[in-house]
Structure 1
Amino acid sequence: MLSIFDQGPPEPCPTPFNLAAHVLRHAQTSAEKTALSVLGPNGATDWTYCALQSAILGTGTGLLQRGLNAGDIVLMRLGNTVDFPIAYLGAIAVGLVPVPTSSQLTDAETAKIIEDLKPAAILRDPEVPCAPHPDQILLFDLVGMRSLPPATFAMGDPDRLAYVVYTSGTSGKPRAVAHAHRAIWARQMMVDGWYSLQPSDRLCHAGAFNWTYTLGTGLMDPWTIGATALIPEAGTEIRDLPALLGQHRATIFAAAPGVFRKMMQRQAPISLTDLRHGLCAGEKLSRRLHEQWLATTGTELYEAFGMSECSTFISSSPLHPARGDALGQPQPGRRVAILGPDGPVPCGQEGTIAIHRNDPGLMLTYLNAPKEAEARMVGNWFLTGDQGAMAADGQITYMGRDDDMMNAGGYRVSPVEVEAALSKHPHITQVGAAAVEVKHDSSIIVAFYTGPEELDAAELRAYVSDKLARYKQPRAFVHMSALPTGGNGKLLRRALPAYFKATSE
């Protein structure tokens, strides 16, 4: 039996279609229901479905009045506030193509994106770093647009470009992942395949508004089915999350494993009487953390696997819990295979996780590297670059990356990008980067380098501070006489963590 999960494709996306219209489809029938609560220490700021749609469509009107046209790319440089999803959906509603980015990116990093995509405008909070651009629409103006008359949804082909997100490519250069409007239609497969989400749910996501994990799981998916989204306001401490979850009657809680890990480090008991279960994605969930959460809260954690190119498509759920060490199984409607050099491998054998090219959630292409996107296709399968093994019942065990991609707090980081930033230092001759586990379930990015002498760590941290986003910056630096290499002289990144342990002992 071959490692192929195929129970038939999902229902086709309707046409004409608009991503934002689909997200807001309950705004008329549930006009006064709370769509969003921004949770703070002194209460919550609520947005009804009616108010949310009004702000989004007013923003769409304002963007068109600024001279933007359907198909124009707009770079988003906004902070961790409700302004982010309103501007994002406002742009999509009228056919613009937003590019959400982390507010942690530096001027230099945004300059590369601007050169790469040549956006028509930048939606910007002046407090967020950004390289110069002739047309910057500032936050004050964006907020003012919300009171304008509502725009009409720009309906069209569900396969047309809707938004772009950036991810690190295996080459180390961030790739612009182009997604179609139909991507939101594909996310319906997560509702039962991962979330078990219902209109009565109050889903709290611990992430920032301007993180794509939060945009999808924390906001758009609950709104699509008429549920209520709960988002802690910027600056909320992880230690305060249990109280907020209880106070605001959260029924589902979503976060990266690092958040669950820090919550488990609390000394105070956690009582979450309304919580049905938790959702975990962004990096691999360890069995120890899973069991600790279950023992502490009495609720299950359901894990999902995905990527920027296709969001999450393998997961455990209340209907299909993971078995043993398995991650879960492909969501209903997904077609997934485990591939070897000659195609799908027998069940139980390790190979590369791949998803069918016709999956409605799969990206259109890499805007800046279409040949690289096509190179990842093998017949009808898109190669994820992650290894796994599929059991006869479809359960998939995750085996790790087949490259050296690192993970920092749920963000995937290419070692090549980190190495490229440090290699320009005048006193570094060679550099390698790797994720190193410093304690159980906790890893940091470490830079290993050679040069005439050991350099001051504080000086190196300052050196990369304007070249890499905070989450990409190494937390430690190790000077070595030589870096480990293979027979062909290629750097052996996977051997690097052992040298960190050796120097720490």
Structure 2
Amino acid sequence: MLSVFDQGPPPPCPAPFNLAAHVLRHADRLAEKTALSVIGGDDPQDWTYAALKQAILGTGAGLLQTGLHPGDIALMRLGNTVDFPIAYLGAIAVGIVPVPTSSQLTAPETAKIIQDLNPTAVLRDPSVACTDHPMQITLPDLAVMRNLSPAAFQMGDPDRMAYVVYTSGTSGKPRAVAHAHRAIWARQMMVDGWYGLRDDDRLCHAGAFNWTYTLGTGLMDPWTIGATALIPDPGTELTSLPNVIRDHRVSIFAAAPGVFRKIVASTGTLHLPELRHGLCAGEKLSPTLHQHWLRATGTELFEAYGMSECSTFISSSPDHPARGEALGQPQPGRRVAILGPDGPVPQGQEGTIAIHRDDPGLMLTYLNAPEEAQARMQGDWFLTGDQGAMAIDGQITYLGRDDDMMNAGGYRVSPVEVEAVLSQYPGITQVGAAAVEVKQDTFLIAAFYTGPEKLDETVLRTYVEANLARYKQPRAFIHLPELPTGGNGKLLRRALPAYFKASQP
């Protein structure tokens, strides 16, 4: 048998369609129900479904009044506040294309995005780094818009572009991933295929408002089925999250593995009486961490695998737990294969994880590199770049990347991008970047460089802080007489972690 999981496609996305309208489809019926609570801090906030819908459609009306039109691109430079999802969905509601970006990006990084996309406007929190742009809509302006007469949803072709997210490209240049309105339709396959989510759930996500993992799993998916989303106040300490989960009657808790790791490391047994289970994504969940969580809470932890180009599509769930160290299985309605050079490989054999081109959650293209998007297709399959093996029951085991991409706290980072910044620093003649394990299941980015002499680490840190988002910044700098290379003189990045271990006392 070949490594293909295909139980038929999901129901087709209806037309006309609008992503934001789908997210708010229960808002009128559940007008007084709490849609969102910002919890655990000094400024708790509760938003009913009625208030949320008004703020989103008021924002949409305000954006149109500024002169923006459906199809225009709006770069989002907003912080970790509720303003982010309101502006995001407000733009999508009226057909404007938002580009959510991390507030950690530096001004030089933002300048490259503006040059790349040529956005019509920038939605801007003045405290968030950004280069100049002729049309900036500020946070106070956005706040005023919430109370305007609500706009109508701009309905249309579900295949039209809805939003753009950036992901690290293997070439070192971040790629602009364009998604259609139908992407939210595809996320319904996660409700049972990963979340085990019900409309009476209180789902808490530990991530920032302006992270796409939080936007999807933490906010839009609960709202789509009429559940309540809870987001910890930005100042909440990770070690206090167990108290937040208990005090706010959280039934499902979602986070990146690093958050679960900090929680179980800071305490022993956790009494979380209303928590049914946890959801984990962003990087591979280690078996050790999984077992620690089980022992500490008595609840399961369900993992999902995905990417910016298609969100999550392989996962474990309450109905289908993972076996051993497997990721889980493709969600119902997904068509997934493990491919070799000639197509699907036999079950049990290693190959590249791939998803069918007709998946409603698959991106439209890379706006700045359509040829690269096409190059990732093999027949009817989109190649993820990750290696895996499929068992006879469809469960898939993750076997690593087939390139040098790094994972830093749930963010995929291209080593080429880090190297390009450091190579411009005086005194560095060659540089390589790699993720290194500093303790069990804890990784950071390290930079290895050559040059006439060892450089001051404090100065190097200051330099990368000014030129790279925090999650891309190396945390260690190792001076070497030469970097490892292959027979063709090409840098061997996979050999670099051994040099880090050798440098440690």
Normalised by the shorter chain, which TM-score bucket?
over 0.9
Map Cα deviations across residues 137-167 of structure 1 (whole Å, 9 max, x no partner): 0000000000100000000000000000000
Q: Find the aligned partners of 1:159 and 1:41 in 2 and give their Cα distance.
A: 40
Partner of 2:492: 492
How many pairs are equivalent? 505
Q: Find the aligned partners of 2:41 and 2:69 in 1 and give their Cα distance.
A: 41
Q: Find the aligned partners of 1:464 and 1:224 in 2 and give their Cα distance.
A: 40
Task: In structure 1, give the amino acid aligned to 2:77.
Answer: R
How far apart are 1:44 and its partner, in Å? 3.1
Q: Find the aligned partners of 1:503 and 1:38 in 2 and give their Cα distance.
A: 44
Q: Find the aligned partners of 2:134 and 2:63 in 1 and give their Cα distance.
A: 16
Map Cα deviations across residues 11-36 of structure 1 (whole Å, 9 max, x no partner): 00000000000000001110000000
TM-score (norm 1): 0.99
Map Cα deviations across residues 214-263 of structure 1 (whole Å, 9 max, x no partner): 00000000000000000001121101101011000000000000000000
Partner of 2:3: 3
Partner of 1:132: 132
Partner of 2:395: 395
**2:95 pairs with 1:95:** yes
- Match of 1:301, SS? strand
Q: Find the aligned partners of 2:167 and 2:44 in 1 and give their Cα distance.
A: 33
Partner of 2:26: 26
- Match of 1:354, SS? strand
Q: Find the aligned partners of 1:434 and 1:267 in 2 and give their Cα distance.
A: 31
Map Cα deviations across residues 320-342 of structure 1 (whole Å, 9 max, x no partner): 10011111000000000000011
Partner of 1:182: 182
Which residues in structure 2 correspond to 1:394-413 (within 5 Å)? Answer: 394-413=394-413
Moved more, 311-320 or 464-473: 464-473
Partner of 1:326: 326
Moved more, 49-58 or 37-46: 37-46
Partner of 1:205: 205
Which residues in structure 2 correspond to 1:140-289 (within 5 Å)? Answer: 140-267=140-267, 269-289=269-289
Task: In structure 1, give the amino acid aligned to 2:217.
Answer: T
How far apart are 1:287 and its partner, in Å? 0.2
Partner of 2:83: 83
- Match of 2:28, SS? coil
**2:449 pairs with 1:443:** no
Task: In structure 2, give the amino acid aligned to 1:293.
Answer: W
Map Cα deviations across residues 179-231 of structure 1 (whole Å, 9 max, x no partner): 00000000000000000100000000000000000000000000000000000
Q: Find the aligned partners of 2:304 and 2:282 in 1 and give their Cα distance.
A: 8
Task: In structure 2, give the amino acid aligned to 1:349.
Answer: Q
Q: Find the aligned partners of 1:205 and 1:216 in 2 and give their Cα distance.
A: 10
Map Cα deviations across residues 256-300 of structure 1 (whole Å, 9 max, x no partner): 000000001113542110000000000000000000000110000
Q: Find the aligned partners of 2:362 and 2:224 in 1 and give their Cα distance.
A: 19
Q: Does the CA contact (< 8 Å) of 2:41 and 2:232 recur in 1?
A: no
How far apart are 1:422 and its partner, in Å? 0.2
Post-superposition, which runs of at least 4 consecutive aligned residues in structure 1 deviate over 2 A? Answer: 40-44
Map Cα deviations across residues 53-100 of structure 1 (whole Å, 9 max, x no partner): 000000000000000000000000000000000000000000000000
Partner of 2:297: 297
Q: Find the aligned partners of 1:414 and 1:85 in 2 and give their Cα distance.
A: 27
Task: In structure 2, give the amino acid aligned to 1:6.
Answer: D
- Match of 1:242, SS? helix
Q: Find the aligned partners of 2:349 and 2:401 in 1 and give their Cα distance.
A: 16
Q: Find the aligned partners of 1:394 and 1:87 in 2 and give their Cα distance.
A: 40
Q: Find the aligned partners of 1:126 and 1:174 in 2 and give their Cα distance.
A: 24
**2:436 pairs with 1:462:** no
Same amino acid, percent of matched pairs:
78
How far apart are 1:392 and its partner, in Å? 0.7
How far apart are 1:363 and its partner, in Å? 0.0
Q: Find the aligned partners of 2:153 and 2:59 in 1 and give their Cα distance.
A: 12
How far apart are 1:45 and its partner, in Å? 1.1
Q: Does the CA contact (< 8 Å) of 2:97 and 2:163 recur in 1?
A: yes
Q: Does the CA contact (< 8 Å) of 2:41 and 2:235 recur in 1?
A: no
- Match of 1:85, SS? helix
Task: In structure 1, give the amino acid aligned to 2:172.
Answer: G
TM-score (norm 2): 0.99
Map Cα deviations across residues 336-355 of structure 1 (whole Å, 9 max, x no partner): 00000111000000000000
- Match of 2:288, SS? helix
Task: In structure 1, give the amino acid aligned to 2:406.
Answer: M
Distance 1:161 1:132, change over 3 A: same
Partner of 2:483: 483
Q: Find the aligned partners of 2:374 and 2:42 in 1 and give their Cα distance.
A: 51
Q: Does the CA contact (< 8 Å) of 2:256 and 2:283 recur in 1?
A: yes
Partner of 1:416: 416
Partner of 1:425: 425
Q: Find the aligned partners of 1:324 and 1:347 in 2 and give their Cα distance.
A: 17
Q: Find the aligned partners of 2:21 and 2:219 in 1 and give their Cα distance.
A: 14
Partner of 1:367: 367
Q: Find the aligned partners of 1:430 and 1:273 in 2 and give their Cα distance.
A: 54
- Match of 1:317, SS? coil
Q: Find the aligned partners of 1:2 and 1:52 in 2 and give their Cα distance.
A: 47
Q: Find the aligned partners of 2:165 and 2:123 in 1 and give their Cα distance.
A: 15
Moved more, 459-468 or 109-118: 459-468
- Match of 1:465, SS? helix
- Match of 1:466, SS? helix
How far apart are 1:43 and its partner, in Å? 7.1
- Match of 1:236, SS? coil
Please report the RMSD computed on the Cα atoms of aligned residues, expressed in angstroms.
Answer: 0.7
Partner of 2:55: 55
- Match of 2:15, SS? coil
Task: In structure 1, give the amino acid aligned to 2:286.
Answer: S
Q: Find the aligned partners of 1:286 and 1:341 in 2 and give their Cα distance.
A: 29
Task: In structure 2, give the amino acid aligned to 1:376.
Answer: R
- Match of 2:164, SS? strand
Q: Find the aligned partners of 2:235 and 2:308 in 1 and give their Cα distance.
A: 26
Task: In structure 1, give the amino acid aligned to 2:500.
Answer: F
Q: Find the aligned partners of 2:495 and 2:165 in 1 and give their Cα distance.
A: 31
- Match of 1:352, SS? strand
Q: Find the aligned partners of 2:439 and 2:32 in 1 and give their Cα distance.
A: 48
Moved more, 349-358 or 259-268: 259-268
Task: In structure 2, give the amino acid aligned to 1:265.
Answer: A
Task: In structure 1, give the amino acid aligned to 2:205.
Answer: H
How far apart are 1:42 and its partner, in Å? 4.7
Q: Find the aligned partners of 2:41 and 2:111 in 1 and give their Cα distance.
A: 37
Q: Which structure 2 segments of 5+ residues have no match? A: none
Task: In structure 1, give the amino acid aligned to 2:124.
Answer: R
**2:116 pairs with 1:120:** no
Task: In structure 2, give the amino acid aligned to 1:266.
Answer: S
- Match of 2:467, SS? coil
Q: Find the aligned partners of 2:384 and 2:258 in 1 and give their Cα distance.
A: 23
- Match of 2:466, SS? coil
Task: In structure 1, give the amino acid aligned to 2:165.
Answer: V
- Match of 1:448, SS? strand
How far apart are 1:425 and its partner, in Å? 1.1
Partner of 2:309: 309
